[in-house]
Amino acid sequence: MGDPNKNLDLDKPRTFFNPHPGFAGAAIPIPTAVRKVAEGLDGQTISLREAIARISAVTSGRVEPVPQYDYIGLWLETGTATHLFRVICYG
């Protein structure tokens, strides 16, 4: 299986919606700063590259698009566990 991000156009304008609500049953909550950036992106139309840069600026976690589900993901490592958050969807 190839890299799903290989042909993804990071500069194409996308509209962002449905930011992560906060805790939502996760083992750990999404970081507050990331949640606030996601809330600020809600309804905006900008490039994936810009959205990823804004989220990356407030976290040390890995921020990448998940194109098969049309969202930006955040991977955080805590000890021996890795947590994946759906930060915000795009269309």
One-letter amino acid of 64: E
CA atoms within 13 A of residue 29's CA, in its CB half-sphere:
9
What pLDDT score does 36 carry? Answer: 96
The pTM of this model reads: 0.89
For residue 87, report the phi and psi dihedrals to the nearest 5 degrees: -75, -50
Question: 33-88: per-residue pLDDT in tens?
Answer: 999 999 999 999 999 999 999 999 999 999 999 999 999 999 999 888 899 999 99
What pLDDT is recorded for position 17? Answer: 98
Number of neighbours of residue 12 by Cβ within 10 angstroms:
10
What confidence score (pLDDT) does residue 2 get?
47
- Domain range annotation of the chain: 13-90
What integer is the mean pLDDT of 21-43?
87
